[in-house]
Structure 1
Amino acid sequence: MSDKLRAGDAVEWNSHGGTAKGKVKKKLTSRTMIKGHQVAASPDNPEYLVETASGAQAAHKPGALRKAKPA
């Protein structure tokens, strides 16, 4: 995917358990801690904070995400 993702967009990505779905919370452009892990995001290497329906959060690179149809 590209920088066309925005907060609130429904997205999906491949996960070890199959396809995961969630919503973009925000674009990360600086180092951030998520679940005890440091996300090395920067303006030149952004990542997206996504949240699943169950409230789990993770950061993903733009190429790992694809827009999904809203549920």
Structure 2
Amino acid sequence: MSDQLRVGDRVRWNSRTGAVTGEITEVHTSDFEFMGRRRLCSEAEPQYKVRSDATQLHAVHRGEALHRVS
């Protein structure tokens, strides 16, 4: 599914505190830094910056960790 996800898509993912819902705000297809850590990604394996509905905080996940919600 990861190649179908786009900015603005509503998604769900698991965190330490349970399921979280939010929105994709950025799609990264080349290596970048987030919160002091180097994130490795490519066109074939992008990473997605998502904003939590509950906290408005951002996280970054690979596509396989995200599930589209309606």
TM range (shorter): 0.7 to 0.9
TM-score of the two chains, using structure 1 as the length reference: 0.84
Say if 1:34 and 1:57, in contact at 8 Å, map to a contact too.
Answer: no
Q: Percent identity?
A: 35
- How many aligned residue pairs are there? 69
Cα RMSD over matched residues? 1.2
Q: 5+ unaligned residues in a row in structure 2: which ranges?
A: none
Q: 5+ unaligned residues in a row in structure 1: which ranges?
A: none
Structure having the larger proportion of residues in helix: 2
1:55 alignment partner, SS class: coil
Give the 4+ runs in structure 1 shifted more than 4 A.
none
Residues 4-37 of structure 1: CA deviation (Å, up to 9, x unaligned): 1111111001111110111001211011111111
TM-score of the two chains, using structure 2 as the length reference: 0.85
